[in-house]
Amino acid sequence: MIKNSILIIGIIGLFVFAMFGLTILPKLYIEPNVEKANVYVWGRAAEGHKVYVSHGCIYCHSQQVRPKGFGADIERGWGRASVATDYKGLTPHQLGTMRTGPDLSNIAQRQPGRDWHLLHLYNPRTVIKESIMPPYPFLFEIVDADKTLKEGLKLPPEYQIPGKKVIPTDEANALVDYLLSLNQKDPIKPQQN
């Protein structure tokens, strides 16, 4: 009987300890900092976040850089270790677990060019020959060159379509705005957790 009660107290104790350590303590410690943090994503970048979510980029890309000692993320040049305030603003958060492609937490530092991102989305192999990322041609319109004044993608010769222009849709431009907002150049606000 006594043995049983020790077991039950042990189980409950472990549960309370885990709940305190994994949920209550982080909430008390991290949440006030996140509340204070002055981080906003707005406009087309917020629209682009929806596109990112709806096309399932999370199935191949994470947005969580692990600190030193927890893997080689920093050595890979993916940016500084992620902190809670990085995730303020846009839900659902796109932390991800799969890394078929690189982590995108700091992609705007590695690839700051809008044209590069548009080409890469239209067909990754236009810029990275051996890329296995799927193309997203449905985010673009193929229009007769003489029927539009809009600027088309600057495709390499082998991808050009004679007499046509490839024009990014609003969705594609918004997605690129979102990717360009993934930038860790600013100091962490207000403090690292």
Q: Does residue number 111 form part of the binding site for ligand HEC (CB under 6 A)? A: yes
C-beta pairs of 39-42 under 8 Å, 24+ apart in sequence: 39/85, 39/86, 39/88, 39/89, 39/189, 40/89, 41/89, 41/90, 41/178, 41/181
Least CB distance to ligand HEC at residue 78 (A): 8
What is d(CA 168, CA 1) in angstroms, rounded to the nearest whole number?
72
| 160-179: contacts with ligand HEC (CB under 6 A) | 175, 179
What is d(CA 35, CA 46) in angstroms, rounded to the nearest whole number?
19
Q: Does residue number 25 form part of the binding site for ligand HEC (CB under 6 A)? A: no
Is the Cβ of residue 17 or residue 138 nearer to ligand HEC in the bound state? 138
Is the Cβ of residue 55 or residue 93 nearer to ligand HEC in the bound state? 55
Listed ranges 35-43, 124-132, 148-156, 185-193: which one lies at the site for ligand HEC (CB under 6 A): 124-132
| 125-154: contacts with ligand HEC (CB under 6 A) | 128, 131-134, 136
Least CB distance to ligand HEC at residue 187 (A): 23
Of the candidates 115, 160, 167, the residue with the CA atom closest to the CA atom of residue 140 = 167
Within 10 angstroms of residue 139's Cβ, the number of other Cβ atoms is 20
Tokens for 36, please give them.
């204070």
Angle among Cα 97, 98, 103 to the nearest 5 degrees reads 85
Residues that contact ligand HEC, how many (by CB under 6 A): 23
Of the candidates 182, 193, 191, the residue with the CA atom closest to the CA atom of residue 45 = 182
Q: Residue 175 region, left (φ>0) first, then alpha (ψ -120 to 50), else beta?
A: alpha
Mask 28-67, x = binds ligand HEC (CB under 6 A)?
------------------------x--xxx-xxx------
Q: Does residue number 124 form part of the binding site for ligand HEC (CB under 6 A)? A: yes
Is the Cβ of residue 42 or residue 59 nearer to ligand HEC in the bound state? 59
- Contact residues toward ligand HEC (CB under 6 A) are 52, 55-57, 59-61, 100-102, 104, 107, 110-111, 124, 128, 131-134, 136, 175, 179
